[in-house]
Amino acid sequence: MLFLEFGGGRDDDRTRDGRQLGFGGWLVPDAFAKLYVDGKVVLETPVQATRVSPTWPDQRKANYRVRSGARCAWSSWDSNPINNHPICVSDMSDLQAEVSSEGPVKVSWAAAVRSCR
């Protein structure tokens, strides 16, 4: 059993083609995140509108059963009225091995955002 929550995220402040994200929400993602274990979504945050650094304070925080060696991945998304768009998707190594140390595990998507957006 693992206690899982998303502590927050930090998106790039530029679009893939180099444009600066605008003011008043223009081009700023309405971000939410998902955690997948063996291909199934086990944790999904609510949408936090127009935030480059979402924290999802109202997300569900709970214990989850994650077997050792399970295939895990996380993704960040931009919520849109017609269809959601992925910001980034990244595989994780063995989640059980990463959380074996004390304290929160920090998984960064900032380095991958430029290639994922």
Q: Any idea which residue has 């214990």 for tokens? A: 63
Query: Could you tell me what percent of the chain has a pLDDT over 70?
Result: 63
**pLDDT given at position 12:** 61
3-state secondary structure the chain: CEEECCCCCCCCCECCCCCECCCCCCCCCCEEEEEEECCEEEEECCCECCCCCCCCCCCCCEEECCCCCCCEEEEEEECCCCCCEEEEEEEECCHHHHCCCCCCCCCCCHHHHHHHC
**pLDDT given at position 72:** 87
Q: Any idea which residue has 């480059």 for tokens? A: 52
| Residue 117 pLDDT grade (very low, low, confident, very high; cuts 50, 70, 90) | very low
**Interval 10-34 mean pLDDT:** 66
Instruction: Return the higher-pLDDT residue of 7 and 83.
Output: 83
**Interval 62-70 mean pLDDT:** 86
Q: Give the pLDDT confidence of 29-59 residue by residue, as tens digits.
A: 788 999 899 999 999 999 988 777 788 888 8
**pLDDT given at position 82:** 86
Domains of the chain: 2-116 (2.60.40)
Q: Is the pLDDT of residue 97 over 60?
A: yes
